[in-house]
Copies of this chain bind each other. A is one copy, B any other.
Amino acid sequence: MNLAVKTYTTGEIAKICGVNFRTVIRWIEKGYIEAYKLPGRGDNRVTEDSLVKFLKNNNMPIPSEIETVNKRVLVVDDDEKMARAISRTLKKAGFDTDIAHNGFIAGSKLEVFKPAVMTLDLKMPGISGLEVIHYVQNSEQLVNLKILVVSAQDQKELDEAVQKGASDALSKPFKNSELVARVSQLIGVN
């Protein structure tokens, strides 16, 4: 259990943003940066999430120390062999992977594992790939998640998936190098 949350003071943020800490306080007062106050004198504290959100909103450079490059990929496929094959290939390429064999586990792990990319088999029993895409599209938590459809279905279905919101599609069978290339591109763009 990790309860600790990294927080930043106005002084630290001032250095990160290259401005005076007085200015940071004003940004907080105006609501540009989300912060909470300590009981004593009312010192401001900003969580890492809030800071990153602020920096992104304003296209400000994010220091590498606090930018957690997310190289996690969740492999969703009910075919265990296929899932392991994909996972192995991606692991070799330096990605951090996890596997979900059904929709329930996929949904759960999306929130816990927090992958940057999900490879999705369109045709899984009891669950429609398009439904999953639609759900992700409309979920606030998952706006940054990229979906790479991996399916044996014909090109028309793949195109539809991309049109409905998947980031990319790959038809089975595929070359491992092609898989790695697609995932790399999706994560690189991020």
Contact = CB atoms under 8 A, between A and B. Distances in A.
Interface in A102-144: 102-112, 124-127, 131-132, 135, 139, 141-142
A109 to B, nearest CB: 7
Contacts of A38: 17, 19, 23, 58
A61 interface: yes
A168 to B, nearest CB: 20
A45 interface: yes
B102 A126 contact: yes
Number of copies: 2
B108 A126 contact: no
Given A107-B108, A108-B107, A63 B5 contact: yes
Contacts of A63: 3, 5
User: Which of A6, A17, A47, A107 has the most C-beta atoms of chain B within 10 angstroms of its own C-beta?
Assistant: A107
Contact of A59 (B15, B36, B59, B139): B36
Given A108-B107, A108-B110, A36 B58 contact: yes
Contacts of A27: 39-40
Interface of A: 1, 3-7, 12, 15-19, 23, 26-27, 30, 32, 36-40, 45, 47, 54, 57-61, 63, 65-66, 102-112, 124-127, 131-132, 135, 139, 141-142
